[in-house]
């Protein structure tokens, strides 16, 4: 399974959870569990998105920056500030 496929599955589960559970919640303690689960799914999606390589942004004809956070990445494979995977391969 690719990161993109995993993101799709998680987002589908989250949407179903939102539509079903939120409308059916009766107890406060259960609502807190569902909200925590939703937050955990969102964190998982954010982490997976950072594993999908993105091209760095060329600034000043030589400096490469992370497109996610703007930090200097030069020829690093991961941004040291936000963890985004960087794709330096030529197309």
Let me know: does 74 contact 86? Beta carbons within 8 Å.
no
Q: Which residue has the tokens 């079903």?
A: 20
pLDDT tens for each residue of the chain, 91 residues long? 888 898 898 888 887 776 666 566 556 667 777 778 888 988 999 999 999 999 999 888 788 999 999 999 988 899 999 999 999 887 6
CA separation for the pair 76, 2 (Å, rounded): 22
Phi–psi pair at 88, nearest 5 degrees: -100, 5
pTM above 0.85, yes or no: no
Tokens found for residue 67: 């497109």
């Amino acid at each position: 399974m690719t990161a993109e496929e995993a993101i799709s599955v998680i987002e589908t589960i989250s949407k179903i959870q939102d539509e079903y559970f939120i409308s059916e919640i009766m107890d406060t303690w259960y609502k807190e569990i569902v909200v925590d689960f939703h937050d955990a799914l969102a964190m998982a999606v954010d982490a997976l998105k950072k594993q999908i390589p993105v091209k760095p942004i060329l600034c000043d004809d030589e400096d490469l920056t992370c497109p996610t956070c703007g930090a200097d990445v030069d020829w690093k494979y991961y941004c040291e500030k936000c963890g985004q995977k960087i794709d330096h391969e030529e197309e």
